[in-house]
Structure formats: structure tokens, C-alpha cells
Chains A and B, each alone.
Chain A
Amino acid sequence: NAGVTQTPKFRILKIGQSMTLQCTQDMNHNYMYWYRQDPGMGLKLIYYSVGAGITDKGEVPNGYNVSRSTTEDFPLRLELAAPSQTSVYFCASSPLSISSNSYEQYFGPGTRLTVT
């Protein structure tokens, strides 16, 4: 049981390039999330998904796109990378648990992205 895995671990992009950050979970969780965390700052939600085929914007979605074609995968796409997108990107997942009111989120190890 690997949990939440993210690739790549590190990446350097030039301004204007694009890339896809991969995220996979093997816990059969319905909910998946993408966050960014700038140095010394808190987590900011970029996008989230409540199930395959459904995605919603978080607080900082501009410059990013997501898709959720399967329960397991939730890739994050950066188009036209900008220096302001230099950050650590965390993917997370959580089970749908209305009855227990429990929404613990499990995080991947993160992708460190630098745009220069």
C-alpha cells in the first residue's frame, strides 16, 4: 500500500514551458486535492476533486488545470510556467466518510518546482 505518490520529486522549468505533475493514490479515495506551499507559508488549495469526472477550483487555480479520469489519478497541468509558480506542490486524498464525519487527508511527499 503505497498511499499517495507524486512524480517528479524535483523539476526546474524555464519561463513559458509547460509540465504535468503526476499524483496517484491506491487507497480508493474519492477525494483528491492539489495544494501549493511557498517557503515559510501555509498550504493554498489549487484544485480538488470529489470523484472521477468532477473537479472544482480552490483558492488559487489561475495558471493550472486538472483532470480526473480515474479514481486513482489526479494530474496537475501547468501551462506557460511563471516564476510565481515556484513552490512545493502537494497532492492529497481523503475518503468519503459522511457517516463518521471524518475527513482525514493523506498527503504525498511533494514536488519541488522552480521556474526560472
Chain B
Amino acid sequence: RKEVEQDPGPFNVPEGATVAFNCTYSNSASQSFFWYRQDCRKEPKLLMSVYSSGNEDGRFTAQLNRASQYISLLIRDSKLSDSATYLCVVNRPGNTPLVFGKGTRLSVIA
């Protein structure tokens, strides 16, 4: 089983739609979880951290399910500018690099 798995997509959704991505991770000892966003030909940038209790930032909601070892990202009222690749990121125990998923591509269509 891969350390971090994501559906590569693409998810093609109309403006205003709600879309959700899931990501599974294999290491039950992982403690830190993030969603990064990567625009075409640009560097990844942190979108939001994922906390145990779930957290919301405007139209974006992230949730963590430790029992099933998955995290989710919900985007409400999608905008054209949300079109990007969304990377699920998980830490390994100890001072080792974060593990990046391959990303889920989202296209928001007018």
C-alpha cells in the first residue's frame, strides 16, 4: 500500500459546485496532515493544515478520520480560480520529510 494515495482525477465541475477529495494514508503513527495547492507550472503552496477536530477556512473544509486513516478536502461554491492540483501531505514519525501524494487535479468550468 502506498504511503499516501489520492484519486488523480481530473474532477471537472461547474462554477458554484461543491467538490470533495479524499486521501488515504498508510502510517497510523502520522500526526501532521496538510493540503497543498499546486497551480500549473508553479510551486506547491500550503492551502491548509488538517486538525483532528476538522477545520474550515472560508469555502474550504478539511477533515481527518484517524480510524479509517483518511483526510478529506471539501470546496464549496467552486470558483474558476480553484482550478489546480491539490496535494495531500502527511508526515512520518520522527524528523523525516513529509510525504506528498501525487495530487488530484480539479478543473472548474464556467
**Given the complex, which residues of B lie within 8 Å of A104, measured CB to CB?**
34, 46, 49
Of A41, A45, A105, the residue contacting B102 (CB under 8 A) is A41
A103 touches B100 (CB 8 A): no
Contact with B along A31-49 (1 / 0, CB 8 A): 1010000000111010010
Q: Chain B nearest CB: distance from A7 CB in Å?
A: 14
A48 touches B102 (CB 8 A): no
Is B18 in contact with chain A by the CB < 8 A criterion?
no
Is A12 in contact with chain B by the CB < 8 A criterion?
no
Q: Please, how many angstroms separate the alpha-carbon atoms of A109 and B98 in the complex?
A: 19
Contact with A along B22-54 (1 / 0, CB 8 A): 000000000110100000011111100100000
* Stretch from A13-21, A64-72, A74-82, A94-102 that touches the partner: A94-102
A102 touches B95 (CB 8 A): no
Of A42, A58, A90, A101, the residue contacting B32 (CB under 8 A) is A101
Is B78 in contact with chain A by the CB < 8 A criterion?
no
Q: With A101-B31, A102-B32 in contact, is A42–B43 under 8 Å at CB?
A: no
B43 touches A43 (CB 8 A): no
Is B97 in contact with chain A by the CB < 8 A criterion?
yes
**Given the complex, which residues of B lie within 8 Å of A101, measured CB to CB?**
31-32, 91
Which residues of B are in contact with A by a Cβ distance under 8 Å?
31-32, 34, 41-46, 49, 87, 91, 95, 97-98, 100-103
